[in-house]
Amino acid sequence: MCHHKMQGASKMNPKESAAFITSLAVDVKINPIGIKKVASEISHAIESGQFKPTNMMLHAYPLPVSVDASSIEWLFVGDALNFSFWALEEDAHYSVELHGVKYTGYMALCAAITKAIEAGIPITSSKYYANISQEEVNKIFISSTGEPIPMLEERWRILQECGKILNEKFDGAFLNCLEQANQNAQKLLNLIVTNFPAFRDEAVFEGRTVSLYKRAQILVADIWGLFKGQGLGSFADIDTITMFADYRVPQSLVHFGALEYSEKLNKMLTANHEFKNGDREEVEIRGCSIHAVELIREELGARSVYVTINEEKTLPLNSAMIDYFLWEFRRRFAQKLAVIPYHKVRCIYY
């Protein structure tokens, strides 16, 4: 293959990026035995009713329950800010209380948005957040301990930036961006990363631009999930969306033996080394995680594991569902998995 042509080649999507990263990874490798183990675990969990992939469509966390256009704006704000909730101490995570329930991490962010709306603050209106003050952002997202949300300044900047772009290009509503995509997940993904710099989760690996697009893909999957693949959430190509490469799902993949780290990388992780976004090790962990989930998806397909969405619709498991299983697994067995170190990065992309 002529490498000069490659340089000018168009940007790889997350699936292609992940295969490319995996093929050249030095510190992370995928173990096929672990892949089969995850696939078995998921099919057992589905058979026993322990894992209902359709739950990701009902969301056990405080997301909007109204399935209408207003939820589209809600999800856009939530996923614009869906990053960096970890704390060095396992019990010091960002938390918010809503209706007497204490939520942590991403769920705490959801709770803060719901709380703001209940208090009459139009946090999902771009007219409002395009000019929001930092004090206001702090007040809305303050942790129940009185600590500011991690990366407060970046969240403030992103809210303003996204609000201004929505007002300038999409007549003040993310719904208009969604409608331009004509029910095509890849087209929507492309519209998001092209128009909103804060969603442009890319890196350079071995001289090529790779894309991981964690938050942009979650936004697409959240819309699909909330609307149960119907109406506004109908995407014929939802299966092209990959897993959402963060710092938690790899923890589950390592637990099952699907991902293996070199001794050097293990040492860095155990020492709580703080990686920078774009560091080779970080890109390898994220890229190999995406590829591992693609392999799990293929394995589940080969085993004919299907999910019933409603009376007339069954679907093969897609990567978003597998991601949700692994993410939930980590939360359910948080104590057990706390022994597995995860990579720590403070950045706006995850």
Angle between helices 280-302 and 32-47 (to 10 degrees): 50
CB 196 within 8 A of CB 164: no
What is the token pair recorded at 39? Answer: 């696939």
| Catalytically active residues, by annotation | 246
Give ∠ CA 289-294-297 in degrees, rounded to 5.
Answer: 125
CB 70 within 8 A of CB 63: no
> Quick one: CA torsion of 315, 235, 290, 214, rounded to 10 degrees?
-140
Angle between helices 69-80 and 105-118 (to 10 degrees): 130
Angle between helices 185-195 and 214-226 (to 10 degrees): 130
CB 275 within 8 A of CB 41: no
Strands 208-211 and 202-205: antiparallel
In this structure, which amino acid lies at residue 2? C
